Amino acid sequence: MSEQVVFSQLSRKFIDENDATPAEAQQVVYYSLAIGHHLGVIDCLEAALTCPWDEYLAWIATLEAGSDARRKMEGVPKYGEIVIDFNHVQMLVRAFDEARAAQTPQQQEWSKLMLSMLHDIHQESAIYLMVRRLRD
């Protein structure tokens, strides 16, 4: 059985509706999308990064021991999944940037992609990452 960790990034949102929304309610729909309430709103996530399980563990081990960033990323082995949103950006950017000097070339590539995804979240706070452990 192979295990991997998949980072999925919010790519778009849409409203699941079977009936046409009345014109007077349309403004409420736009407001709900804007503030992120998920009542009838479906998030579309797209895989952006996939790491083999053992290599993920080695990668996050390059983050400073005991740091908030390392504890956050250790949530995947502990809970099976984590969400990374706007509140985590600065902490994780600092940690992954500082860790790159001690990383293998492959880990540096993952960190570069991670930093890019964190930049996307910083630019648009509605974007988030869902990080999950998957078993075949």
Q: How many domains would you assign to the chain?
A: 1
φ and ψ of 45, to 5 deg: -105, 145
Q: Tell whether 94 is covered by a domain.
A: yes
Average pLDDT along the chain:
86
* pLDDT category of residue 38 using cuts at 50, 70 and 90: very low
Is residue 77, in this structure, part of any structural domain at all?
Answer: yes
Assess if residue 65 is contained within a domain: yes
Band of pLDDT at residue 125, cut at 50, 70 and 90 = confident
Cα four-point dihedral sign 16, 18, 20, 25: negative
Q: Is residue 20 a part of any domain in this protein?
A: no
| pLDDT, tens digit (0-9, with 9 covering 90-100), for 69-112 | 999 999 999 999 999 999 999 999 999 999 999 999 999 999 99
pTM assigned to the model:
0.78
pLDDT band of residue 37 (cuts 50, 70, 90) is: very low
Q: Is residue 19 part of a domain?
A: no
What is the chain's length?
Answer: 136
Q: Note whether residue 33 is domain-resident.
A: no
Pairing between strand 81-84 and 3-15? unpaired
Residue 23 lies in a domain: no
- Is residue 37, in this structure, part of any structural domain at all? no
State which residues form the domain around 97: 3-11+45-135
